[in-house]
Amino acid sequence: MFETSGRTGTIPVAPPATPSQVESSEWLNRRASEQATRAALARQVSGRRRFVDPTTCERDYTEAELEFMMAMNDYKKRSGRMFPTWSEVLEVLRSLGYEKMESEGLMD
């Protein structure tokens, strides 16, 4: 019981956690924390950066690059696929009018 401004009431209290519940939640949190710390250190050591979406970069894109990015975004929205296969990427490129040029010595 407590008293506030002349009113008397009770504060609902959750039942106390058992020692095994406390230990398991602390263990899970500690384990997750240690795992996240190891992952962060590994990223720093490797020098690798996380992938940055090119549409959010501060960069000037060519008209062709913007057209391709927009076409890919449209395709992903229409198909509901966030990660299209390479065949689907090729399909988008062909829909934009890109074709493989048959040329001698192209890959020499």
Residues 4-62: tens digit of each pLDDT? 555 555 666 666 666 665 555 555 677 777 877 887 777 677 665 555 565 566 677 88
The model carries a pTM of: 0.44
First to last CA, the chain: 87
> Strand, coil or helix: what is 52?
coil
Choose between 28 and 76: higher pLDDT.
Answer: 76
